Structure 1
Amino acid sequence: MTLVFFIIALGILVIVHEWGHFIIARKSGIRVEKFSIGFGPTLFKIQGRETEFRVALLPLGGYVKLYGEDPEAEAEGDEQKAKAIAASPDSFTGKPARFRLATVLGGPVMNLVLAFVVMPFVFLIGRQVPAILEKPPVILGVMENSPAKAVNLEKGDIIQSINEESFQKWGDVLNWIMLHPNQEIKMVVTRDGVEKEIHTTITDAPDSRQKMGYLGIEPQYFWGNDPIVGDIVANGPAFSSGLKSGDFITAVNDEKISTWTQMTDKIRASNGKPISLGYLRQGVEGGVTITPAYNEDAKAYLIGITRFTNPDLYVVQKFSPGKAITHGLQETYRLSLLTLDVVKRLFSFDLSYKTLGGPLQIAQASGQAAKSGLGEFLYFLCFMSLQLGILNLLPIPVLDGGHVLFMAIEGIIRRPLSLKVKMVAMQTGMALLLGLMILITFNDVDRIWGIGDLITKAKGLF
């Protein structure tokens, strides 16, 4: 089902984007020859009055083919024919700059409009979020051997600012930390009513394949982190051990533990050797011995239990129509600023490409969002639409922003750029984007399956 939701989400985004180009072109009197969803071989097509609508095999994008978008290429070297195409009243090139600019911007603008229009419905339908994300950033605990521990941050410290940026909610603090790995920071906290200035360096998260920041004060390590058994996986190592849902784990190999994180760390460190678990069940102590099994997906030793999720730790963000519109617009604006910040930091090399997600991670995220409900899926769709709209405005040839750049240069020099110059620029832009996509996809594969593990398996076949 993950693939199905991925195709649905991507299909919606592509259709909206290309429809933006299409409708503005039509309104401007420009002939649209093709409207394609997907690339490659045609699966089916419908011929309209002047436009061929088609669905292609590879659902990774789409395009509209405008008549006269590139007269020289369309004329195949025939100079007279190229001039005739450029002078045609329904030619893209023959239209005034304002119509051409509007047509090019129509796609990304429609993606931005989609996000601003749909996001209020997210808060009208409702989406479930951890309650801690809406609470003030009071430190709930400090992980051992973490950057926060090294500079003596303490439980109860209230985070006021990081690098002069103020915060009111844990959700904003978490986003900031995750997007700034390997960065030196100045943090101002309040402890017992007195402000303290802390200097440290955000490191890479030790428990994630994805490159993201880590301080060791993130609330997910402490909020709702009680070692209470939720579900027991059928036929897993714990299935026939006698462990039951609701058991409170108190010890691993006779060592006391108080959090789910401590328990899982010790299980993963077992390397498959039998471990003893002490537990409390309705106030009565008990114990079991289990042999962890290696899980290929998690790349770790597990015993086949899930953490109990206390519904009281979550809140549903659901509002009346008026408030839903306000919250929707505010959230879309916040996500827009977040996306712009990521783009800026990528181009200034302050952020690694490894923080980005490619098609595999997007597919995973779309599936997870859909399983969480309609509100979460629409939220994911809005965020992706925002990113698609903003990234398409970058002045890189082959993107819409690249076409705007060409038009700006032509306006300055007061003549069209030659086909050769455009082709070289387009090929360079395509090479850059393909190279980035390959790196991101490689990173996806490494994050999900582990490149090292795949290489080891491949060697085992020979």
Structure 2
Amino acid sequence: MARSTRPTRSLGPGGDKEVDFSLVALFSASSLATFLAILKALVALGFVIFVHELGHFLVAKACGVKCEKFYVGFDIPIRIWRLRLPSALVKFQWGETEYGIGIVPLGGYVKMLGQDDNPLNAEAEAERARKSADEDAAEVDKNELAEKDAVAAEEPVELDPRSYVAKNVPQRMAIISAGVIMNLIFAVIFAAVAYRMGVKITPCVVAGTSAGDPAWQQAWPSGSQIVQIGRDGDPDSDLRFQWELRYKVAESGIGENVKEMDILLRAPDGQEQWKKITPTDRLKQQLGMVSLGIRPPSSSRLSGTTPFYRGSAAAEASPPLQPGDLITAVDGIPLAETGSPNTYYGHQVLEQLAAAIDSPMTLTVQRTGIDGSTETVEVDLAPAPFYSLGLEMKIGPLVAIQQGSVASEVGFQAGDELVTLNGEPIGDPLTLSQRVGTLAGEPLEFTVTREGSTVAIDVPPLGPELNIPYMGPLPVASIESLGIAFEVTSQVTGVQPDSSAGEKGVAAGSEVVSVQLRVRGEANKAYVAGNYGERYEEEMVIGQQGVNWMSIHHRLQHLLPDTEVLVKLQHADSDPVVISLAARPRAETYFSDRGLVLTQMHRQHTAASWGDAISLGFRETREKLSEVLRVLKMLVTREVSVDKLGGPITIVRVMGIESSEGFSRLLLFLTFLSANLAILNFLPIPALDGGHMIFLLVEAVTRRPVSERIQGIFTLIGVVLLLALMIYVIFNDIARI
């Protein structure tokens, strides 16, 4: 009796439906750099696919199976009208196997005797694997042959001993699982080599906290470093912001209730303290995430391409700032080194500028010339004007009180609504911290409404105000010297008479629905197209994708000259109206962000030995496997939308970014892709290795193979579903372009 003939051994439409490794022939490259980036991505993806198929091939050969083809890509004949394309870019015969690179780069496959990736060809392929027990006899007369044929019709046929279907269940299981095992082995190898070469990591250093969020409430100081997450293990200074921290925080948010975390925090003075902290879920509904509210560290080095925002105070610095400048001091005060020579944290620069928001400052920069020589340059940087449309928003309730702050001592409570400051209306919430800063050293009196009652709160003299820049994405501002964080709504409660909004007659009581920017002038349009793309002028709708009045106000600070601001306002029950406004500097008011573009802080993490490198390789692979499993779980539980899935275009784009950061970063991304392929390919879905493993398990239990007809039906269903998913993620990719 013939055994199952449906072991699909391909990576693509006919087999291992790894959607993320597909459709890489979209390179209508507009430049050599784009073409080379795509080519590099294709080669890297092709190698991951090659490794997968090599696993199947080697184990199949070890089990004595005849392998007729080994292809990366599919050798499918393609005809476009009268033009006939070759089915393979390269192919050659070596021994009994044809090796090649197919013209359709959707995966790869190993063709074994006794199997075919197309269920419609399964029956014909099965016949190839069968042979009569006496077919090799040299001399048989016609009568004897007829007699033997009659007997053979009543007896089970014999299988070709070199066919896949002739092998026992354990051998076929080994062949099926070999691709996944090979991917896991090379995932470790990729990561180990990367760490031995040295990997750039972003350390878990706190560069600032977002007003009102958990880390802000606990007053985590800038420059602190997270050295351990969870009580298991030992402190580690090489924890990575984008991996250990990010994903541990994300894991705490899985499920109905956010889980508390234990974090060992090392203060700038070296003292370590365990913190119990629960991430906030205020972003979960809008952005699908939980957060501690920590800003990742930046370097004090300016971007090598765009060192400042055009239209900002930094753009008017004298002498001009240049790409790659390294800031080493602010107003003569040297920055503290990070522990690595000539490396400084960017938050030191930003905080010193914010503390002197209304004062000109001098930056000391180290500048490297084309010939490699360095020079020290003193750069004067003026205060940044506070650009405003003239709209003053209603202040919302206090969302948090900082632990150990003045506010916690004098009796402020979350939920209080600020009404007056020293007898005057509280006014524009976006300028409140600056107004409090001008009263530093003087006693203050606030009145608040609390549960329908008015409460007066006396505040002792405060120290200097920090005026930290908005970090988002929630509409929350703060008074750092006092220790309160309050919401900023999008409801207009006042209009400055000499502003653009005042001139257009905007009335209090309106609600801002959305804002849209319109760039004027060919030079400005070209700049936006080259630096921001079409999304710069997209409508920003309040309440969608982290858009709020504070994020819009931040955008207004770095507008190009003559930019038109279209504001959609809703008043009471009337229809929304769109008004064209202009952002103008507000008298005696300044913005804390002067427009410097700092690079992300990186530190080289190099394994001391190959033993350490292999250990890190196993850790990296384990983390990537956990990450893929976590995302799959969130997809099943609908905690993450399928709209977030990326396809081949996203992979090529991300791989281009990673490869630009160095070969070791590319190797780590290949580790991620290998783990991704290993798990997705072993899901119990027909047409994937996991689906074939299910068929083999059934055969092992029942001691008879699943019928070819049933396997064919399920395989076709799996292929259709996976093709649909492939098309869906490709459309997702196109929509993001």
- Do the two structures share a fold, i.e. TM-score over 0.5? yes
Counterpart for residue 283 of structure 1: none
Counterpart for residue 210 of structure 2: 142
The 5-angstrom pairing of residues 304-319 of structure 1 reads: 307-309=597-599, 313-319=601-607
Tell me which amino acid in the other structure corresponds to 1:186: K
User: In the superposition, relative to structure 1, how do residues 260 and 420 fare at CA in structure 2: closer, same or farther (>3 Å)?
Assistant: same
Can you list the C-alpha shifts for 1:179-226, whole angstroms capped at 9, x where unaligned? 7589641335789979767574252597xxxx6525360323xx3288
Counterpart for residue 381 of structure 1: 670
User: In the superposition, relative to structure 1, how do residues 421 and 407 fare at CA in structure 2: closer, same or farther (>3 Å)?
Assistant: same
> How many residue pairs were aligned?
414
Counterpart for residue 335 of structure 1: 624
Counterpart for residue 191 of structure 2: 119
Q: Higher helix proportion, which one?
A: 1
Q: Which secondary structure does the structure 2 equivalent of 1:34 belong to?
A: strand
Counterpart for residue 101 of structure 2: 55
Paired with 2:192 and 2:49, the residues of 1 have a C-alpha distance of 21
Q: Which secondary structure does the structure 2 equivalent of 1:23 belong to?
A: helix
Counterpart for residue 517 of structure 2: 271
Paired with 2:519 and 2:256, the residues of 1 have a C-alpha distance of 38
Paired with 1:258 and 1:231, the residues of 2 have a C-alpha distance of 26
Tell me which amino acid in the other structure corresponds to 1:335: K
Matched, 1:44 2:90: yes
Can you list the C-alpha shifts for 1:224-270, whole angstroms capped at 9, x where unaligned? 288967644899778996453267685243578754858xx9xx978
Tell me which amino acid in the other structure corresponds to 1:430: V
Give the drift of 1:55: 1.1
Matched, 1:253 2:317: no
Q: Is the 8 A contact 1:187 1:199 kept in 2?
A: yes
Q: TM-score, normalised by structure 1?
A: 0.74
Q: Which structure would you say has the larger Rg?
A: 2
Counterpart for residue 91 of structure 1: 163
Matched, 1:101 2:173: yes
Q: Is the 8 A contact 2:53 2:109 kept in 1?
A: yes
User: In the superposition, relative to structure 1, how do residues 226 and 178 fare at CA in structure 2: closer, same or farther (>3 Å)?
Assistant: farther
Give the drift of 1:369: 1.2
Counterpart for residue 224 of structure 1: 298
Matched, 1:24 2:59: yes
The Cα RMSD (Å) is 4.4
Counterpart for residue 66 of structure 1: 112
Unmatched 5+ stretches in structure 1: 275-288, 450-462
Match of 2:201 among 129, 138, 150: 129
Q: Relative to structure 2, which stretch is displaced further, 88-97 or 417-426? A: 417-426
Tell me which amino acid in the other structure corresponds to 2:39: V
Q: Which secondary structure does the structure 1 equivalent of 2:165 belong to?
A: coil
Q: Is the 8 A contact 2:187 2:617 kept in 1?
A: no
Counterpart for residue 284 of structure 1: none
Q: Which secondary structure does the structure 2 equivalent of 1:54 belong to?
A: strand
Q: Relative to structure 2, which stretch is displaced further, 157-166 or 8-17? A: 157-166
Paired with 2:307 and 2:675, the residues of 1 have a C-alpha distance of 38
Tell me which amino acid in the other structure corresponds to 1:2: A
Q: Relative to structure 2, which stretch is displaced further, 57-66 or 179-188? A: 179-188
Paired with 2:726 and 2:169, the residues of 1 have a C-alpha distance of 32
Q: Relative to structure 2, which stretch is displaced further, 296-305 or 356-365? A: 296-305
Q: Which secondary structure does the structure 1 equivalent of 2:259 belong to?
A: strand
Q: Which secondary structure does the structure 2 equivalent of 1:335 belong to?
A: helix
Paired with 2:158 and 2:310, the residues of 1 have a C-alpha distance of 68
User: In the superposition, relative to structure 1, how do residues 329 and 6 fare at CA in structure 2: closer, same or farther (>3 Å)?
Assistant: same
Paired with 1:4 and 1:205, the residues of 2 have a C-alpha distance of 39
Tell me which amino acid in the other structure corresponds to 2:517: N
Tell me which amino acid in the other structure corresponds to 1:92: Y
Match of 1:410 among 689, 699, 711: 699
Q: Is the 8 A contact 1:335 1:383 kept in 2?
A: yes
Unmatched 5+ stretches in structure 2: 1-35, 77-86, 132-156, 266-271, 326-378, 388-430, 435-466, 476-513, 538-557, 561-594
Paired with 1:165 and 1:184, the residues of 2 have a C-alpha distance of 22
Paired with 2:211 and 2:733, the residues of 1 have a C-alpha distance of 28
Identity of aligned residues (%): 26
User: In the superposition, relative to structure 1, how do residues 325 and 197 fare at CA in structure 2: closer, same or farther (>3 Å)?
Assistant: closer
Give the drift of 1:419: 2.0
Counterpart for residue 220 of structure 2: 156
Q: Is the 8 A contact 2:261 2:277 kept in 1?
A: yes
Paired with 2:527 and 2:111, the residues of 1 have a C-alpha distance of 57
Q: TM-score, normalised by structure 2?
A: 0.49
Paired with 2:245 and 2:193, the residues of 1 have a C-alpha distance of 26
Counterpart for residue 656 of structure 2: 367
Counterpart for residue 432 of structure 1: 721
Paired with 2:691 and 2:177, the residues of 1 have a C-alpha distance of 11
Can you list the C-alpha shifts for 1:423-459, whole angstroms capped at 9, x where unaligned? 111111112222222232222223x32xxxxxxxxxx
Q: Relative to structure 2, which stretch is displaced further, 77-86 or 55-64? A: 77-86
Q: Which secondary structure does the structure 2 equivalent of 1:65 belong to?
A: strand
